[in-house]
Amino acid sequence: ILNVEQSPQSLHVQEGDSTNFTCSFPSSNFYALHWYRWETAKSPEALFVMTLNGDEKKKGRISATLNTKEGYSYLYIKGSQPEDSATYLCAFKGGSGGSNYKLTFGKGTLLTVNP
């Protein structure tokens, strides 16, 4: 069984704060790490696909880093806004007996940004 852990489980910040959260995943047989943003009653929206150790990706105020050797990725949000409130999911492709198509998801970090 592949273990993908996200922390914290939930987070409350004030508008304007910067924040970050963690995704840990198996460090063996790595194919890719995906980040998704998921608002209630909508579909998960792809943010980043990261494949190389040391990758850093950025989209507006959101950025992510990847360390495949130690099995973790960080997602950063700079200057949080209320519209950033959502659940942020990471999903791993790979692992022992894993594949390059099957996503194994963490349970997500629920971010609430208070105005």
Binding positions for another protein, rule: CB under 8 A: 4, 31-32, 34, 36, 41-46, 49, 51, 89, 91, 93, 99-108
| Pairing, β 10-14 against β 109-114 | parallel
Closest distance of CB 102 from another protein, Å: 5
Comparison of 93 and 113: residue with beta carbon closer to another protein: 93
Cα distances from 39 to residues 43, 81, 85, 105, in angstroms, run: 7, 14, 8, 16
CB–CB of 33/73 below 8 Å? yes
Closest distance of CB 97 from another protein, Å: 10
Comparison of 21 and 36: residue with beta carbon closer to another protein: 36
Separation between Cα atoms, residue 84 and residue 65, nearest integer Å: 19
Closest distance of CB 23 from another protein, Å: 12
Comparison of 51 and 85: residue with beta carbon closer to another protein: 51
Q: What angle do CA 75, 111, 79 make, to 5 degrees?
A: 65
